[in-house]
Chain A
């Protein structure tokens, strides 16, 4: 694999639920240090695509490559082991537990001493590691021992992202990370996404909010009716082009061929 090759590459991936063709020969790639915005109307297949990458659904056809190797992901654990982390919209945090407990939930560090037999938690080690993770993301949380239920929406999102980084993934999928957040909190989360990019991770952001996507994404992939309906370089395109690709209204969009020509869509009008 060359350094510039994609971290994760999907070629012709299809997924069918009964009569519904949720994904139809979708091509998708994310490179190291790249933020890809995945946009599309409701039912366009965004969630299905993410769940297929995350191992919740298994693709019916097509190929997936990770760091150049052919892979098959049939369980969420497969994706996690490969280094693909997913942060879902509902975050799945326990409000009654503190930040450290949430970050390590299900992967707690156990004492190495005699207490380890009883499954004694190594709180000091976990708190230390959690502190490192969060300060590496320049996250501002008053205390690691704060109950997550008392945090703001943006802080909760940050905790969820930090949690996903525990396994040192290469690719992070974020499902609607800015939904239901206020303006300053949205800014926090977008900055956080920027820092993930600086670390050389491949980041996939699903969002309905085109303004946010344009602010943070290097590349924008549009899905429409289960097909790739556009693949734009963020700096070379405008919201109008992306919207027309999403809706299929206007020229140069909706024919499923957009995936081939990065940034060339503007000329097709």
Chain B
């Protein structure tokens, strides 16, 4: 029997005084990549930020288990050390902090060839730049991917990796994410798992997702084949998803 990499049970989350997530259940096995879809404001990013351990997202009920360990009350750094990583949709700009310096600080493998790795995602010229300062949409995403490549997490969360990115960069980012998720390995050999938020589905061309979920109004309303779900949403929008929840 294989342990589930991530197991979320009955997760309720408040942002401020308001409950935003109302009892999320989600199980992602090792080697699996799941896709999360849903209308704007449905709680997708809230779920990822909560799983990462951001303090503004208060868990009022439920548990998060990662590799068999309860991480519900852990801070972001403790979760990161256990192998949870995230690509942020809108990461902050940090004045004076050079991308190269951060990469060196977070690298576990001090022998890694940083410039070469940065070049592989066309970020070689950004190592001496302040993180995200004046970066374009594509550059922000490539910077995020590069940080994840250095972190090498076992469970990767990706918050709209294709948003604000042109087609050429989607290909580059998509391939890098595919590598992060060990998509070149057979399922039985694959250990990395992931959870991807996408609106367009472009990323599915590079990340062969195993399962799809739809979130509406802070709840996961349906599960299934990710491409079929995407096709339905493209044809009918999210109206039926909401009705699905009511029924």
The finding on whether chains A and B are genuine partners in a shared complex, rather than unrelated, reads no
